[in-house]
Structure 1
């Protein structure tokens, strides 16, 4: 979009917040870059340039606006609706892959050479992987500076900087302020209330409209006791992260989600934030979905009733895949029970002083020798589960933020006991494919029948072609037509 100057300029003139995250605006005379909705009066068109990412603007010598804070805007929805290598790379960078594995590790995950990947990213987003990771480190550092009392040396290394000098120089170049000035300014604006070391509270911005009842209701209804819970109006769960574990508490608001994070190791902050956003599908483009699905007479009433649906996703692709198999042909309640048995037996215990969370859901490596005593369901499904666990552990099935959606489907369908429903649910909720469609799902078929649509799988699949490329969101809208706990937020008391 950043290459369409006229369209970008109109968005800036109207201060349209819907375009925040799609591109950034750079001003040649001030050397500052802003989000499209910045309240400052826009300059003359001849003095403006548009870049696809904050990293590209920073590389071109621009620093972030102190008023609109473009580094705090929602992420571009483009990377979540595309399956090409650039989009897959952007998702992996957001998950912290460059900081953990380097550019060579990122390239290896994508099946490209380092040089090929750098050339592709430079051509499309205006920055190489290191520059994109640097921009993310800067954002993480700013969050820690402004919301915690951590010493700056701890902030630097927690954000991924290799030295204090690199940390200071980057903050001055990108934010035009020293770390001390950023913290003093935050205290003056927001008061003293920074979190203690080990915990922090922040806002996760999102685009309106935001029908949070659907995504939060679904997560609450299907939550695994001990791993997930609802407490004091917040959805809470444990996380397994690269350097330790964590606990997140997410409270929805009309235009953002209030997030409280407790971490074993602050180096995991950027990854934890990225996974929270992915869990709630916060980088979606609701306007595009509403425009496409609302134009269909068969869905228009559902879309108008609750525009801005998000897909209930996951913080761990492997966990979601295991839980989908556990949920094959059983009720939501039974699936929760099966998952709880496994989490209690194999999950890492956690201490939750603010609630009732007890375990992190186990990694597939911990389930390699799972005892059938914990699998109280038919042997055919036991074989499916153990085959999936083995394939994930051995790398025969690749499910992560940067995997190829269609290749992942093919790998899943090659396993015994995994059919189209399981593959589509994993594609939709674990991988974030916006066009996944579990046509054989009972809830989808019941909702289709209620709307007067053909509920037979083949006919429904053919009819769904008009909803492409947003069939995952059509599925979520169909689920909202049901009288079911997945649509209740806050959940009813038992």
Structure 2
């Protein structure tokens, strides 16, 4: 979009927050870059230059605006709705792959050479993988500076910088302020005092593009929560997270203009990845205006969209975990699926401490489940085979379900496993891989809702009817599921 000068100028002059994260406005006279909704007086047209990423702005010598704080914009929806190499690279960079494995590790995961990946990212985003990862580190550093009382040296390494000097230089260059001044300014804002340095707990706001309907999003996560791993407590969805350097507990609560997030981490180096996974879990980088506009073109769906616009797809914090849970939930009730998953967690999960609630374990990794005795599973024989085959493929690395997965390749691999029908493959594609166009025409709830709206209810006819909904059929599924007045479509009651 950043190449459409007229459209970008119009968005800036109207301060249209819908385009925050889609592009950034760099001002030639002040050498500052902003989000489109910046409250400052818009610059003259001839002084505006538009970039597709904050990293590109920084690489061109612009610094972040102190008023609109463009580094805290919602992410671009493009990276979560596309399946090409650039989108997969951006998802992996957000998950910290460049910081942990370098650019060669990123390229290897994508099946390209480092030169190819750098060339593609530069062509589309104006910045290479190192610059994009650096921008992400700067954002994490700012968050820690402003919301904690941690020493600056600890923040430098927690944010992923190799040295305190690099940390200081980057913060000065990106924000035009030294780290100590950033902290002082934050402390002067109402409620902006930094927390104690002893905490491993970080409180922050997760922005999103309005509207957001929290009912089915948090209702679904709470209704399917695995005891010990997830819970709804005090108006928040809470869950444990397995992270590269340790583990954590995330608490997520819906608010009118943001999602309140509290992260308790055993290692602060996991902060960026934990934030990324929480945003992915709640589908916070979606563009609801674009989704709803297209779905409203169908007279049947228009009724559901207008009733509660802004539905998101409830995803997962761990794709492999969700695949295992999808198998456990085949042809059984939600309660039975939770019971089966809870047994696996108790037997094979890693225990954790949760002073603030009832979380007790991390969901077991595929490697831990690879050693389970199938005879001890309270499942039919065919389901045991399905589960053990899936776990073996995940543990052996032949099946990759991660932020950089190729959606078509993953679908084909899943479909080749015993016991994986179209429904299971598509629900994993929708909720674990994040494909916005996954569709479940055989689902009983979908067919019943479609029939109630006067749509065809047979899978083939419903698939044909859904063709104009592409590429947003995953969101259409959420609206159809929400047609019934079921507890899964409402925010849960207070309490654990």
Report the TM-score when normalising by structure 1.
0.99
1:464 and 1:433 mapped to 2: Cα distance? 16
3-state SS of the aligned residue for 2:249? Answer: strand
Q: Which residue of 1 aligns with 2:163?
A: 163
Q: Which residue of 2 aligns with 1:211?
A: 213
- Residue 248, structure 1, aligned to residue 246, structure 2: no
Residues 213-228 of structure 1 mapped to structure 2, 5 A cutoff: 213-228=215-230
Contact 2:146 2:194 in 1 (8 A): no
Q: Which residue of 2 aligns with 1:305?
A: 307
1:256 and 1:209 mapped to 2: Cα distance? 11
Q: Which residue of 1 aligns with 2:474?
A: 472
Kindly state the Cα deviation for residue 490 of structure 1 after the two structures are TM-superposed.
2.4
- Residue 450, structure 1, aligned to residue 490, structure 2: no
Q: Which residue of 2 aligns with 1:192?
A: 193
Contact 1:77 1:283 in 2 (8 A): yes
Q: Which residue of 2 aligns with 1:427?
A: 429
1:330 and 1:460 mapped to 2: Cα distance? 24
Q: Which residue of 1 aligns with 2:278?
A: 276
Q: Which residue of 2 aligns with 1:463?
A: 465
Deviation sequence 1:28-73 (CA, Å, 0-9, x none): 0110000000000111111110000000000000000000000001
- Residue 344, structure 1, aligned to residue 346, structure 2: yes
Contact 2:215 2:490 in 1 (8 A): yes
2:303 and 2:495 mapped to 1: Cα distance? 29
Q: Which residue of 2 aligns with 1:134?
A: 134
Kindly state the Cα deviation for residue 255 of structure 1 after the two structures are TM-superposed.
1.8
- Residue 399, structure 1, aligned to residue 401, structure 2: yes
3-state SS of the aligned residue for 1:230? Answer: strand
Q: Which residue of 2 aligns with 1:93?
A: 93
Kindly state the Cα deviation for residue 193 of structure 1 after the two structures are TM-superposed.
5.0
3-state SS of the aligned residue for 1:289? Answer: helix
1:290 and 1:344 mapped to 2: Cα distance? 41
Residues 60-139 of structure 1 mapped to structure 2, 5 A cutoff: 60-139=60-139
Kindly state the Cα deviation for residue 194 of structure 1 after the two structures are TM-superposed.
1.9
3-state SS of the aligned residue for 1:299? Answer: helix
Contact 1:145 1:182 in 2 (8 A): yes
Contact 2:450 2:456 in 1 (8 A): yes
Kindly state the Cα deviation for residue 232 of structure 1 after the two structures are TM-superposed.
0.6
Kindly state the Cα deviation for residue 191 of structure 1 after the two structures are TM-superposed.
3.7
3-state SS of the aligned residue for 1:275? Answer: helix
Deviation sequence 1:429-474 (CA, Å, 0-9, x none): 0011000001112221221122222221121112111211100000
Contact 1:322 1:388 in 2 (8 A): yes
Structure 2 segments unaligned to the other structure (5+ residues)? none
3-state SS of the aligned residue for 2:299? Answer: coil
Contact 2:233 2:494 in 1 (8 A): no
Kindly state the Cα deviation for residue 493 of structure 1 after the two structures are TM-superposed.
7.4
Q: Name the stretch that deviates more: 319-328 or 459-468.
A: 459-468
The structure-2 alpha-carbon separation of the partners of 1:442 and 1:491, relative to structure 1 and needing over 3 Å to count, comes to farther
3-state SS of the aligned residue for 2:270? Answer: helix
Q: Which residue of 2 aligns with 1:390?
A: 392
Kindly state the Cα deviation for residue 226 of structure 1 after the two structures are TM-superposed.
0.6
Q: Name the stretch that deviates more: 455-464 or 206-215.
A: 455-464
3-state SS of the aligned residue for 1:167? Answer: helix
Contact 1:220 1:491 in 2 (8 A): no
3-state SS of the aligned residue for 1:168? Answer: helix
Residues 24-39 of structure 1 mapped to structure 2, 5 A cutoff: 24-39=24-39
Kindly state the Cα deviation for residue 374 of structure 1 after the two structures are TM-superposed.
4.7
1:125 and 1:374 mapped to 2: Cα distance? 51
Contact 1:98 1:129 in 2 (8 A): yes
Q: Which residue of 2 aligns with 1:58?
A: 58
Deviation sequence 1:58-117 (CA, Å, 0-9, x none): 000000000000000100001111111000000100010000111000000000000010
1:25 and 1:456 mapped to 2: Cα distance? 48
1:206 and 1:48 mapped to 2: Cα distance? 25
3-state SS of the aligned residue for 1:283? Answer: coil
1:182 and 1:459 mapped to 2: Cα distance? 58
- Residue 482, structure 1, aligned to residue 484, structure 2: yes
Kindly state the Cα deviation for residue 260 of structure 1 after the two structures are TM-superposed.
0.3
Contact 2:429 2:438 in 1 (8 A): yes
**How many equivalent pairs are there?**
494
1:293 and 1:411 mapped to 2: Cα distance? 30
Q: Which residue of 2 aligns with 1:6?
A: 6
- Residue 416, structure 1, aligned to residue 418, structure 2: yes
Kindly state the Cα deviation for residue 200 of structure 1 after the two structures are TM-superposed.
0.9
Contact 2:235 2:494 in 1 (8 A): no
3-state SS of the aligned residue for 2:326? Answer: helix
Contact 1:204 1:259 in 2 (8 A): yes
2:257 and 2:477 mapped to 1: Cα distance? 23
2:395 and 2:484 mapped to 1: Cα distance? 37
Report the TM-score when normalising by structure 2.
0.98
3-state SS of the aligned residue for 2:343? Answer: helix
Contact 2:204 2:261 in 1 (8 A): yes
